[in-house]
């Protein structure tokens, strides 16, 4: 069985994918389904050059600075608010307006924290609990993925 898709429609979807910064788009209509995904560039890790044996004693004599404690992973924070959808995050109701919350804001459970636009619909992201906003992990107009950390309430 061969399904054909309108090449112009596929080009439009590819343009949306590139302009929005999303990693993939999937559409389904009846028994037809199309998924476009953007290839992710591989990450190249650079290894440090080996230390020559003659330099090793000199390096060993130098005092070793204590490693800075690793910053806690926000994805594991109990007050983390995650994105329930793929879209674009907006911190205020309209351009130039004050943001819904800032770092240090006290919020009540159910208060609007930000908006996520998905398919021309603005979805309010509500506070799951009362507390203080300690970190905002997204910027206005930034694309967000499903389950991506948005902010932290303590």
- CATH 3.40.50.10380 describes domain 77-153: no
8-66 pLDDT per residue, tens: 777 777 777 677 767 777 777 777 777 777 655 444 444 455 555 554 454 444 444 45
In this predicted structure, what is the pLDDT of residue 44? 45
Tell me the backbone φ, ψ of residue 17, rounded to 5 degrees. -60, -45
Where do the structural domains in the chain lie, given as residue ranges? 7-37, 77-153
pTM for this model (two decimals): 0.53
84-132 pLDDT per residue, tens: 999 999 999 888 899 999 999 999 999 999 999 998 889 999 999 999 9
Six token digits for residue 100: 């819904």
Per residue, the 3-state secondary structure of the chain, as one string, reads CCCCCCHHHHHHHHHHHHHHCCCEEEEEECCEEEEEECCCCCCCCCCCCCCCCCCHHHHHHCCCCCCCCCCCCHHHCCCEEECCCCEEEECECCCCCCECCCCCCEECCCCEEEEEEECCEEEEEECCCCEEEEEECCCCCCEECCCCEEEEEC
């Amino acid at each position: 069985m061969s399904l054909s898709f309108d090449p112009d429609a596929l080009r439009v979807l590819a343009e949306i994918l590139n302009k929005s910064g999303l990693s993939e788009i999937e559409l389904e209509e009846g028994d037809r389904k199309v998924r476009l995904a953007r290839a992710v560039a591989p990450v190249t890790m650079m290894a440090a050059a080996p230390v020559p044996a003659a330099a090793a004693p000199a390096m060993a004599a130098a005092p070793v600075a204590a490693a800075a404690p690793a910053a806690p992973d926000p994805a594991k924070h109990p007050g983390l608010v995650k994105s329930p959808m793929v879209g674009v995050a907006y911190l205020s109701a309209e351009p130039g307006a004050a943001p819904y919350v800032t770092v240090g804001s006290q919020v009540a459970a159910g208060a609007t924290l930000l908006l996520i636009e998905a398919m021309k619909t603005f979805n309010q992201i509500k506070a799951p609990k009362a507390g203080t906003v300690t970190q905002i992990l997204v910027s206005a107009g930034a694309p967000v993925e499903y389950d991506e950390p948005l902010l932290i309430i303590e």
